[in-house]
Amino acid sequence: MYSVIYQPQAENDLIDILVYYTEQGGYTLGESIFDRIKTHIDRLDRFPYRTTESETILEAREFLIEKLPYKAYVLVEEDTKTVRVLRILHTSKKTP
């Protein structure tokens, strides 16, 4: 199994997503979206190569969040069995 570690910018991205959906539809919606994204990314601990190679970030991989318009950019580090979550961005954004 791999460890999933969120880099500070990815944590900030998650907070921004939580705030956005909380402002749009209330705390319950914000918390629900936050939990769905986190749960989906945390599953990479078992299958880190469910991702695709990134065309925008050297050595990074991209992971689409199921049923939500977000993409996570991650690094899979074999030597330490770690998945580093670099960013979590809306799919309408071109690059991180």
| pLDDT tops 80 at residue 93 | no
Q: What angle do CA 92, 66, 8 make, to 5 degrees?
A: 65
Alpha helices in 1-96 (DSSP H): 8-25, 27-42
pTM metric for this prediction:
0.92
CATH match for 3-90 among 3.40.30.10, 3.40.50.10860, 3.30.70.1230, 3.30.2310.20:
3.30.2310.20
Res 51: pLDDT: 96
Give tens-digit pLDDT for 60-72. 999 999 999 999 9
Tokens of 22: 């909380």
Q: Which amino acid is at 83?
A: V
Percent of the chain whose predicted confidence (pLDDT) is above 70: 97
- Condensed to tens digits (0 to 9), the pLDDT of residues 9-43 reads 999 999 999 999 999 999 999 999 999 999 999 99
